[in-house]
Amino acid sequence: MKKLLFCILLLLAICLSAQAEEAADITGRCAFTVSQDKSNIGAMTDADYYSYWTGKKNAWVQIGAPDGEPLYGLYVCWGRITPWEAQAQDASGEWRTVYVSEDEFYHQYIPLPEGYSAVRLVNVSKDGYEMKVSELRALGAGEVLITDPGDEYLFFGGLLPTYIAQGKEIMLCECINTIAAYKSQLLDGAWNLGLRNYPYMAYFKPRMSNTLQGQYENWSEVQFVRHVSRIVRMYKPDVLVTHSKNGEGIDGGHKVCADAAIRSLTTAMDELYDVGYGYANWGNWKVKKLYLHLYGDSETVLDYHQPLEYYGGRTADEMAREAYALQDYQRKSLKGRDLKWGEGICDGSAYGLVYSEVGEDTGAGDLFEHLD
């Protein structure tokens, strides 16, 4: 399967076209009890990513199932992740561990295939770190397809839904490590479109500059270029897509994404670059095609207004707008900047080919042209 690496303030994910029947949401009929922070127990079910229930070392939240409806799964949206485990009561009433996660996913599905009348999430941190639960949903019987787990819509329009609908393998990478609520909204948008793999989230702080050099000073040029090279080596994309070389005229973060992506054509192929970590772990890799948003005179223009069978006849533009509507954090941060969807720098349909191993585009309107 051809792979698309989607670097949007660095953004990469695997899309599966299979659909699954959702399990019954029985959250509203469950009884919640906690060992600490009782005043914020309602924060776990208020549909607000900015509020949390907080539990210190050994704290727990217990979910009691309604009569005759065992718990077969939990879906947790974290505000802060610490080492934790899920426990359930056995026949003797003792609590035993039924699930342990070592992954730092901000949204996690916890399968409980045996079905339990009561389950606890316990903070087992040895260092005293708090765990914060933003949202917690209890699921009954039924099949579930949820993978343990912005700019991707505002500046790239319907790019994600276009290639999700085609069944392309997509990895979505974000370079900024921002607040948990924004990460949850990012995941909501991705899942809504049909992405099923957890996006890659890097560690760079949201300290933004308007210039390329200013942004590199904020993030460290060496660290950022090395990180992009590692991502390319790690995921081995056929097509790499990222921001405009001029940052869409507004953002140094966009500019360094474009610059580092271009440099990765060399750095990710140099066995003497990042030897002990990048090259040693993943070897070399060179993308077959690299595109920048709004680049050059000859651009490939995608059509986001054709009905897509995968989305029941809805268009890529409609799906992208719906996903973007789930991300109020970004909309608030852009307030007053007069950015208009689908116009000017926000025209997410046009991409310039910076590099190709498979020949020039012919105007077919497909970033995977010549790769099929």
Give tens-digit pLDDT for 131-184: 999 999 998 876 543 322 267 788 888 999 999 999 888 888 888 777 888 888
Above 90 in pLDDT, residue 319? yes
CATH assignment, 3-19+148-356: 3.40.50.10320
The distance from CA 302 to its chain's CA centroid, rounded to whole angstroms, is 23
What integer best gives the mean pLDDT of the chain? 85
CATH assignment, 27-139: 2.60.120.260
Q: Which helix (H) or strand (E) is 157 found in, with range?
A: none
The distance from CA 218 to its chain's CA centroid, rounded to whole angstroms, is 23
Higher-confidence residue of 332 and 317: namely 317
Above 50 in pLDDT, residue 109? yes
| Residue 282 identity | W
Q: Which helix (H) or strand (E) is 181 found in, with range?
A: helix 180-193
User: Cα dihedral angle (227, 228, 232, 233), rounded to 10 degrees?
Assistant: -30
* pLDDT tens, residue by residue, 192-228: 898 877 888 888 887 888 899 999 999 999 999 999 9
Q: How many helices (H) and strands (E) does the chain have?
A: 9, 16
* pLDDT tens, residue by residue, 48-105: 888 999 999 999 999 999 998 999 999 999 998 899 999 998 878 889 999 998 777 8
Above 80 in pLDDT, residue 15? no
CA distance 223 to 285: 19
Higher-confidence residue of 177 and 41: namely 41
List the single range of 157-161, 204-208, 315-319, 365-369 with lowest mean pLDDT.
204-208
Contact present, 202 and 174 (Cβ < 8 Å) = yes
| Residue where the block lists tokens 């090259």 | 279
For residue 83, CA distances in Å to 55, 58, 131, 184, 270 come to 12, 10, 8, 19, 37
Q: What is the pLDDT of residue 189?
A: 85
| Residue 16 identity | L
Domain locations along the chain: 3-19+148-356, 27-139
Q: What is the pLDDT of residue 19?
A: 38
CA distance 309 to 319: 12
Helix (H, G, I), strand (E, B) or coil at 164: helix
Structure tokens at 237: 């994309």
* pLDDT tens, residue by residue, 342-357: 777 888 999 999 999 9
Query: Same topology for domains 3-19+148-356 and 27-139, yes or no?
Result: no
pTM beyond 0.85: the answer is: no
Q: What is the pLDDT of residue 337?
A: 62
Please report, rounded to a whole number, the percentage of residues in the chain having pLDDT higher than 70.
89
Instruction: Please give the sequence-ordered ranges of beta strands (E in DSSP) within 276-358, or none if there are none.
Output: 289-293, 299-301, 350-356
Q: What is the pLDDT of residue 146?
A: 33
CA distance 160 to 131: 32
Q: What is the pLDDT of residue 333?
A: 63
